[in-house]
Structure 1
Amino acid sequence: MKRKRPFLVILCCMMLLGIFPWTASAQTPPESVIYGGGPFYVGGTPTMDILRQSGFTTVMLWTIHVNSNGDLVYNDQLVVSNGTYVGKSLWPSELATLKQAPTSVKRLEISVGSWGVKDFENIKNLVASQGTGTSSILYKNFSALKSKLGIDGISFDNEDLYDVSSSVAFGNMLGNLGYKITLCPYTNVSYWQSVKSQLGSFVDRIYLQVYDGGAGNNPATWSSQLGMIVMPGLDSKTSSGGNTPSQVNSRMSNWKASANINGGFIWYYDAILNNPSGGSAADYAAAINNALAPVSNGSLTTGGTASASSSNSPSGEEKEKAFDGSSATKWLIFANTGWIQYQFGNNASHAISSYSITSANDFQARDPKNWSLLGSNDGTNWTTIDTRSNQSFASRYLTKTFSVTSTTAYQYYRLNVTSNSGGAELQIAEVGLYP
């Protein structure tokens, strides 16, 4: 299980290294989470830049310890005391860059607790002595933590005291402060069931440890028991064990099939730094994101970002409708030429073997007639993958599929229509990209 790493050891390493609710996940891009300790505090802008470019969607600061007097300590560094942030002066501004474009990071969490500590015992005692109102030290310190660091969520890594009532009181306080609550269990399912049930909508994620003491955990079983699809986590490769990016990809793929997961996490960045031959942070993010990339009717085009040459579409016929997996919706622009493109989420790239176009046209004059399919990995420089001329669609909602010979993986695919069948508008029901 997770253990506290002495701060100086981490610093030295851095210096040396320089019921199932199954329905929603298949239609949303995957979430990938990276845990990290000391490097996230002392690494400065270079570490933030690595994280922004990694492909991970959530950064987990591991871990905050709650002292008996309510002080908040990040690993070995005092960061909040008596309702005031007292940590490294540059840390708030460094963390703020994580969500600044271009970046894959959308969310910042901080974990509370770990194995072999007394954080939740201290929380229980503080709740008993002071409560969780605005005058309590817990409220003051976690309010200061949020306002100073911009933390989106608090993750409960409770491995020392499974007391439901104090955990719920603490969670309700955090929820009312604007934090999302995430749970990170590896055992004692009844405790986590009670906490989740009583915290209600404040809990929006569950991270399941599937390594060390939780190595035998089954994500499908835990999802059933907790009434929420869990996001399983694996440890990165070290000299003594762990998982390579390839193994992470394989295991996440299997869990997607067996438990319909739509997210996962990696424990942890410090170990990745300490074992660079085992794979980079970007390698591990890609392992999760590619394994869990959504597929709709075999098409890769679900959960990414749509763009188009024109924004003059009628309401309900916007560019996103060409990638929503339904031929009942459509994209339309008031021009006889134009382009529409798709960008995979989380900086992922995919090679395709074919693509399809589905006609939405009540009037065949709106159908595309001549076009090229282009690929790009930066959205600026484009390579022609396929060109078609004098195409026609004999009926409404007809789908035509075209094979391609390119084996290059691209992040962006653009359908550039150079002429339609003669009308004043261009209209397409669906564009599909197939592996």
Structure 2
Amino acid sequence: MKGFFFFLCFISFSAFCLAQQAYPAAAPLPKKNISIFGRGLYPGDDATYELLKKSGFKTLLLSSFYIHADGDLYSGDSHLPIIHNGKWVGDSAYVVRVKNLKKHSSISRIEILLEGRWYGQPPNTFDFIRDWYDPSKTVPGIVTGIGEQSTLFNICKVLKEVLGADAFCIDDESVYDSPSIIAMGKIAAKLNMHMTLCPFTKYSYWGDILRASDEKVVDALYLQCYDGGARNDIKDWVTALKPQQPIYPIFMVRGSFGTCDSYKGSKSVDEIRAQLKGFKSDYPAMSGASIWQMDDVKKFVSMGCAVKNPASGTATDVAQFLKQLKTTFKREL
């Protein structure tokens, strides 16, 4: 009897240990991850958020956010801090809109896009992540490392607690320091969050991150197939990285860069459908795709692209455009 009692205790303890393993409690990837990046949504308006909730898209990647030298996090939409001195100071209406996104909605996952500098821009985000992740370094005004008192940990914690974010997405296009991003994945694990990657070039850099990361934490890649990544072919990335995680192509719609024409790889709905079909043929396991970005969807409509340039598409309102994109993704995936 005593042996049976200890057996039960052992089983219970083992189950407890398994439950304590780093496996994010945040929203997992939807089975078919139809997603959209949300530049232009800070602070946003109720009507746009309602359109997103009814859009049929599953994941919204709120973008873009930048870390500054003082440890504050800035919105790329307003160029104002949303986290200052370790606390949320952003728009309160934005918090309400984001927290309501999953209510009576197709949206089931919210990610935060951390964006870095392009060439020639002053240091931000990934420069500072590289400089701060090592606890042995001393940086005035910054708590270095990735412990619970660190500046980097606190930024992610505030995003989770205030906005209910499920993941943060890494869009590094200049620094390419894999040890610091691997460390960010460890912050995600501690917070029961996910981390995703948003590459357009440099197989080796992203591959290093994947190989050193828990696939249950770093759980997806969003591949840029426009602008600098316009020539990206998904099969090349699958071959190079051999990831356990899914790769989702990101398409840029017409209306981007203020033009109805095709520019830097922007595409009409029909052009997206054709490329997606080819990707699916080469990568049958493909289970999602993404749109860059909500602001451009709205510009397509506000510029009257369907009338000015019929080859660019037929949508005359935002809801119609979102429906066309969703239908294309569901049909080809």
Task: With the length of structure 2 as denominator, give the TM-score of the two structures.
Answer: 0.75
5+ residue gaps, structure 1, are 1-27, 293-435
Between the aligned residues of both structures, percent identity stands at 28
Indicate if the aligned counterparts of 1:208 and 1:233 stay in contact, CA closer than 8 A.
yes
Separation in 2 of the partners of 1:80 and 1:285? Answer: 33
Letter in 2 for 1:90: A
Residue by residue, what CA displacement relative to the aligned partner does 1:17-70 show, whole Å, maximum 9, x if unpaired? xxxxxxxxxxx84211111212x1132221110001111111011111011121
Separation in 2 of the partners of 1:133 and 1:67? Answer: 19
Separation in 1 of the partners of 2:92 and 2:201? Answer: 37
2:323 to 263, 277, 282: 282
Letter in 1 for 2:57: F
Separation in 1 of the partners of 2:145 and 2:34? Answer: 35
3-state SS of 1:275 partner: helix
Q: Which residue of 2 aligns with 1:81?
A: 84
Letter in 2 for 1:206: L
User: After the TM superposition, which parts of structure 1 deviate over 6 Å for at least 4 consecutive aligned residues?
Assistant: none
Q: Which residue of 2 aligns with 1:369?
A: none
2:164 to 150, 153, 178: 150
3-state SS of 1:207 partner: strand
Shift of 1:114: 4.0
Pairs within 5 Å for 1:33-112: 33-38=35-40, 40-75=41-76, 76-101=79-104, 103-112=105-114
Letter in 2 for 1:274: K
Separation in 2 of the partners of 1:218 and 1:168? Answer: 25
3-state SS of 1:90 partner: helix
Separation in 1 of the partners of 2:117 and 2:277? Answer: 29
Separation in 1 of the partners of 2:192 and 2:95? Answer: 18
Separation in 1 of the partners of 2:161 and 2:296? Answer: 30
Q: 1:264 to 1:65 in 2, by over 3 A?
A: same
Shift of 1:154: 0.7
Indicate if the aligned counterparts of 2:117 and 2:125 stay in contact, CA closer than 8 A.
no
Separation in 1 of the partners of 2:175 and 2:53? Answer: 35
Residue by residue, what CA displacement relative to the aligned partner does 1:214-262 show, whole Å, maximum 9, x if unpaired? 1111111212222234111110012241111122122212211111211
Indicate if the aligned counterparts of 1:250 and 1:291 stay in contact, CA closer than 8 A.
no
* Higher alpha-carbon deviation: 276-285 or 76-85: 276-285
Indicate if the aligned counterparts of 2:73 and 2:84 stay in contact, CA closer than 8 A.
yes
Question: How large is the Cα RMSD of the aligned pairs?
Answer: 1.6
Higher Rg:
1
Letter in 2 for 1:140: N
Separation in 2 of the partners of 1:44 and 1:174? Answer: 29
Pairs within 5 Å for 1:305-320: none
Indicate if the aligned counterparts of 2:221 and 2:247 stay in contact, CA closer than 8 A.
yes
3-state SS of 1:220 partner: helix
| Between structures 1 and 2, the one with greater strand share | 1
Letter in 1 for 2:197: L
Separation in 1 of the partners of 2:324 and 2:84? Answer: 38
Q: State yes or no: 1:253 paired with 2:277.
A: yes
Q: Which residue of 1 aligns with 2:240?
A: 225
Letter in 1 for 2:49: M
Residue by residue, what CA displacement relative to the aligned partner does 1:322-369 show, whole Å, maximum 9, x if unpaired? xxxxxxxxxxxxxxxxxxxxxxxxxxxxxxxxxxxxxxxxxxxxxxxx
Pairs within 5 Å for 1:16-27: none
Task: With the length of structure 1 as denominator, give the TM-score of the two structures.
Answer: 0.58
Indicate if the aligned counterparts of 1:67 and 1:119 stay in contact, CA closer than 8 A.
yes
Q: Which residue of 2 aligns with 1:381?
A: none
Q: Which residue of 2 aligns with 1:182?
A: 196
3-state SS of 1:62 partner: strand
Indicate if the aligned counterparts of 1:70 and 1:126 stay in contact, CA closer than 8 A.
no
Shift of 1:115: 4.7
5+ residue gaps, structure 2, are 1-29, 138-143, 307-312, 316-320
* Higher alpha-carbon deviation: 127-136 or 201-210: 127-136
3-state SS of 1:68 partner: coil
Q: Which residue of 1 aligns with 2:9?
A: none
